[in-house]
């Protein structure tokens, strides 16, 4: 059988006069670990480029990618722009990336309309929630006093905590109910869950939402980074999440 083609949403480096590499240009990139995670089960990762800006020419649309690719992984990265969920930034450093938001919201809508599965990682979970009408904490430690440290800049992907997988959820069927160890690399998180979504995992200490799933369309997301998990770290095995997503992509290809 032909290998699955899985789109990965891009991270943006906007023009920056202090950057040595192409300071006047917009650069698109993905983390190697995300591509390797997709490839670990035999699928082919494809970075989906931006379709806007002064240099864009031609008639290609996000719908073309949604039709050609078998599924979409929403990458981690920059903060979501508060204006995407009707708020003003509480601090200048939390202004997020409006351009990337618009690009990714269009991607999510196109892939869902095409009947293709969408899986979100970290920012991907937040963006999916916002794209469907949900809201975010701009900064968990500021807006949720007493919360865990969900992002430690020094430890980065070696910052861990426990999550509770809610019973009777699909996630519970994949990795088991109860408490699991995961990494944590985020300072924003879901405040109001978007209509049509079910919470599948929470942080037991502070109630921060760690996983969601749409109740009709195949859209699922986790707040942690499965692509960073390694067995020797004692973390949960995320392989079933990837396999479930890829199986949905195979079904979508046959339909």
Catalytic residue IDs:
122, 225, 227
Q: What proportions of the chain, in percent to the nearest 5, are helix, strand and coil?
A: 30, 20, 45
DSSP 8-state code for residue 157: G
CA–CA distance, 93 with 216 (Å, rounded to integer): 36
Q: Are 211 and 221 in contact (CB under 8 A)?
A: yes
CA–CA distance, 118 with 144 (Å, rounded to integer): 29
Side-chain-facing half-sphere of 87: CA atoms under 13 Å: 20
Question: CB within 8 A of 155, min separation 6: which ones?
Answer: none
Query: DSSP H helical segments within 84-145, as ranges?
Result: 98-113, 123-131, 140-143
């Amino acid at each position: 059988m032909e290998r699955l083609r899985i789109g990965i949403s891009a991270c943006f480096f906007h023009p920056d006069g202090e950057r040595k590499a192409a300071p006047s240009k917009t650069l698109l990139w993905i983390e190697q670990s995300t591509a390797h995670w997709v490839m670990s089960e035999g699928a082919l990762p494809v970075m989906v480029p931006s379709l806007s800006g002064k240099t864009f020419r031609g008639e290609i649309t996000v719908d073309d990618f949604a039709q050609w690719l078998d599924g979409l992984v929403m990458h981690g990265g920059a903060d979501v722009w508060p204006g995407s969920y009707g708020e003003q930034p509480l601090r200048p450093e939390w202004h997020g990336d409006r351009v990337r938001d618009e690009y990714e919201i269009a991607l999510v809508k196109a892939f869902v309309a095409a009947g293709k599965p969408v899986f979100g990682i970290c920012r991907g979970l937040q963006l999916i929630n916002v794209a469907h009408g949900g809201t975010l904490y701009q900064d968990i430690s500021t807006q949720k006093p007493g919360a865990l440290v969900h992002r430690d800049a020094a430890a980065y992907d070696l910052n861990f905590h426990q999550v509770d997988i809610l019973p009777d959820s699909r996630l519970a069927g994949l990795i088991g109910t109860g408490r699991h160890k995961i990494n944590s690399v985020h300072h924003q998180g879901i405040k109001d869950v978007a209509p049509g979504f079910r919470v599948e995992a929470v942080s037991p200490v502070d109630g921060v939402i760690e996983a969601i799933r749409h109740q009709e369309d195949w859209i699922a997301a986790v707040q942690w980074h499965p692509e960073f998990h390694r067995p020797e770290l004692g973390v949960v095995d995320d392989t079933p999440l990837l396999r479930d997503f890829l199986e949905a992509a195979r079904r979508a290809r046959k339909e």
